[in-house]
Amino acid sequence: SFVHDIFERLATEAGRLARYNGKHTITSREIQTSVRLILPGELAKHAVSEGTKAVTKYNSAGDE
């Protein structure tokens, strides 16, 4: 499916970025960079914005 294909591409690219930087863990930074590399223009901007919002919400919920 479309969603599975996009997930696979993003995960593979994020893994490559982590390996390239000598890390064993994929962080939100690698995911964000892979989104910028794989998704086209405006779609990437919106995806990064929504992802940042989700991570911020998750992190603030952990503080409570």
Q: pLDDT per position in the chain (64 positions), as tens?
A: 999 999 999 999 999 999 999 999 999 999 999 999 999 999 999 999 999 999 999 999 977 7
What is the three-state SS of 6-60? HHHHHHHHHHHHHHHCCCCCCCHHHHHHHHHHHCCHHHHHHHHHHHHHHHHHHHH
* pLDDT for the residue numbered 62: 76
Residue 64: the pLDDT is 72
What gap in Å lies between CA 15 and CA 9, rounded to an integer?
Answer: 10
pLDDT at 63: 74
Q: What's residue 15's pLDDT?
A: 97
